[in-house]
Amino acid sequence: MTFRLTCPVCGKRDVYEFTFGGQERGPRPTQEGLGAEEHFRWVQFRLIPGEPREEWWYHGQGCGVWFRTTRDPVANREVEGGDGDG
């Protein structure tokens, strides 16, 4: 089953209109003193316990806005109350 995401401009739209942009992980670690291992860990390693998480999405087949929303990977649904106010 498909589901809908809340675009801050267009409202609730089918998920296939959007491009997935990845989990929100905070700012990139500062370059100073950043080791290779730490850098690779930041780029690729994740903890995915199955709890709702903040993500980036791009409304490519719509208004073209990048925004953040919260989605539950166990239900594969946007968490209600997600206001998509990236």
Partner 1 sequence: MNWLRLRRLWRPAPLKRHYDTVIIGGGVHGLATAYYLNRDFGITDVAILESQYIGFGGSGRNTAIVRANQRTAENVRLYEEGLRLWAVLTDELDFNLMFFNCGNLSLGHSEASVGAFRMLAGTHNFLGVKSELLDPQQCAEVIPGLDISDRPRFPIQAGLYHPPGGIVRHDAVVWGLAKGASARGAHIHQGCEVRGIETDGGRVTGVRTSLGDIGCNRLGIMAGGYSTAIAAMVGIELPIHPLTIQAMVTHPLKPFLHHVFSSNGYHVYANQTLKGEIATGAHMDPQVNYTTDATAYYLKHQAEALVELMPALRGVRFMRIWAGLADMTPDMAPIMEGELGWDGLYLDAGWGYFGFKSGPVAGKYMAEYMASGERPEMLKAFQLKRFLENRYSGETAAVMKYGHWD
Task: Give burial (CB, 10 Å; 0-12/13-18/19+) of 67.
Answer: buried
**The binder of partner 1 chosen from 55, 69, 82, 84 (CB under 8 A):** 55
Residues of span 56-75 touching partner 1 by CB under 8 A = 71, 73-75
Residue range at the interface with partner 1 (CB under 8 A); choices 15-23, 26-34, 61-69? 15-23
Residue 30 engages partner 1 in binding (rule: CB under 8 A): no
Q: What CA dihedral angle connects 65, 69, 73 and 74, to 10 degrees? A: -130
At 17 the three-state DSSP class reads helix
User: What is the smallest separation between the CB atom of 46 and partner 1, expressed in angstroms?
Assistant: 6
d(CA 47, CA 72): 14
**The binder of partner 1 chosen from 27, 33, 48, 85 (CB under 8 A):** 48
> In this structure, are residues 18 and 12 in contact, taking their beta carbons and an 8 Å threshold?
no
Residues that bind partner 1 (CB under 8 A): 1-2, 15-16, 19-23, 36-37, 40-41, 44-50, 55, 71, 73-76
